[in-house]
Amino acid sequence: MSDASFSHEPVMKHEIVETFRSVPAGVIVDATLGGGGHSEAILDSRDDLSVLGLDRDADALAAATTRLGRFGDRVMTQHCRFDDLDQAMAAHSIEQLSGALFDLGVSSPQLDRPERGFSYRNDGPLDMRMDAASPWSADDVVNGYPERQLANIIRRYGDERFASRIAKAIIAARPIESTTRLAEVVTSAIPAPARRTGGHPAKRAFQAIRIEVNGELDALPNALDSAIDALVPGGRLAVLSYHSGEDRIAKDRIRQAQTGGCECPPELPCVCGAVQTVRIVRGVPKRPSHDESSSNRRAASALFRVAEKIEPTKANTR
C-alpha cells in the first residue's frame, strides 16, 4: 500500500490547525489517523507538538507512517480502535494530552478501494471492515441478521425511513455476494420518487451496515470520555462527525463534561457537587465552507465540535 493510494484531502484542515494553535505544547492524539493529512498539517503548524496516531486500518497506518516520516520521533502510531486510547498512551509512556482529534466515519481512500467493500458505487465483496483482521464483516450482517434486527440497524444507524422495506428485500434476495448487488436490492426497495433526492439511494443503508460491522457508535462514548480525562488544562477536543448518531454522542459527552452531570433545576444553584471539566468553544457545531463542500464530497455532511479542558470547577452551566 503506497502513501499515494491512501492520500486524500482532510476535511476542515484549516479549522483543525487553528483549533490546536493555542493548546499547550505536548502530544495531540489523532484518534482516527487515516492517511495522516490532519496530523501532517498539525505538525507543520507547530514544532512543539507531537502526534500519537491511532487507527484500526493497517493500510492506513502504513501510509500515514510513510507520509509523516519526515517528522521523526514527533510521530507515534498504534494499531488499535480509538476506545483503546488509554492503553495506547501507556504503550508510548504518555501521561497527558494537549489535544485530541476524532475525524469519524469512513475515509475516502477506503471508499475508493472496491476490494474493501465500503462503496455502493464499485463492485466488491461484502466486507466493510476497518480492521481487515476482524472476523466480523458485512456479509455476516447482510446474510445473517434476521429481518427485524436488520431493519433496526438500518433505521438507527442510517436514519433510513424505508428500513423495513429494505430489510425485507434483503432477506428475499439472499444470498447477496457483492456490494453492487446489495446496492441494487436496496435501491429497488425504495419508492421511485424517494430515489431521486438525497444522493445515492443505498447510501444510508451502507452507512448503517458499516457502523454495525465496526461497532463505531458503541466505541465512541468511552473514547471521548478518555480523551477528555487525559487533556491538560487548555488542551482541546475536536470532533468531526458525518452522521447524526455520531454528533449526538459527541454533543452528549461534551455536555456531560461541561455540566459534570449536574441534574439540579436550572433556575437554582447547583447543590449536587457536580464538577465542570470543559468549556464549549462553539455552542453550535461548525460546518465546512461552501467551497470545501463543493470540492470535497466527504466534507458536505461534516459537523465540527470543539471543547477546551479547564481546571475542575463547581458546575454552574446547564
Q: Which residue has the higher pLDDT, 282 or 244?
A: 244
Highest mean predicted confidence (pLDDT) among 144-148, 261-265, 300-304: 144-148
104 & 250 share domain: yes
- Which of 214, 241, 264 lies at the terminal end of a domain, its last residue? 214
200 & 254 share domain: no
Confidence of residue 8 (pLDDT cuts 50, 70, 90): low
Predicted local confidence at residue 262, as pLDDT = 87
Q: Which tens digit of pLDDT belongs to each residue from 19-45?
A: 999 999 999 999 999 999 999 999 999
158 & 99 share domain: no
Residue that is written with C-alpha cell 445515492 in the block: 200
Q: Which tens digit of pLDDT belongs to each residue from 168-192?
A: 999 999 999 999 999 999 999 999 9
In-domain check, residue 113 = no
78, exposed or middle or buried, with CB in 10 Å at 0-12, 13-18, 19+? buried
Q: What is the mean pLDDT of the chain?
A: 93
Q: Which tens digit of pLDDT belongs to each residue from 51-65?
A: 999 999 999 999 999
203 & 262 share domain: no
Predicted local confidence at residue 2, as pLDDT = 45
Helix residue ranges per DSSP H, the chain? 13-19, 37-45, 58-67, 85-91, 108-112, 138-144, 147-158, 163-173, 179-189, 192-195, 203-214, 216-230, 244-259, 290-295
In-domain check, residue 120 = no
The residue among 172, 142, 139, 137 whose CA lies nearest residue 154 is 142
Tell me the three cell numbers of residue 218.
458503541
99 & 229 share domain: yes
Predicted local confidence at residue 118, as pLDDT = 93
% residues pLDDT > 70 (the chain): 96
Q: Which tens digit of pLDDT belongs to each residue from 143-165?
A: 999 999 999 999 999 999 999 99
Predicted local confidence at residue 107, as pLDDT = 75
Number of folded domains in the chain?
2
% residues pLDDT > 90 (the chain): 81
235 & 303 share domain: yes
209 & 221 share domain: no
CATH code (residue 44): 3.40.50.150
Terminal Cα distance for the chain, rounded: 48
Q: Which tens digit of pLDDT belongs to each residue from 89-126?
A: 999 999 999 999 999 988 767 777 889 999 999 999 99
Predicted local confidence at residue 1, as pLDDT = 44
83 & 13 share domain: yes
Q: Which tens digit of pLDDT belongs to each residue from 230-259?
A: 999 999 999 999 989 999 999 999 999 999
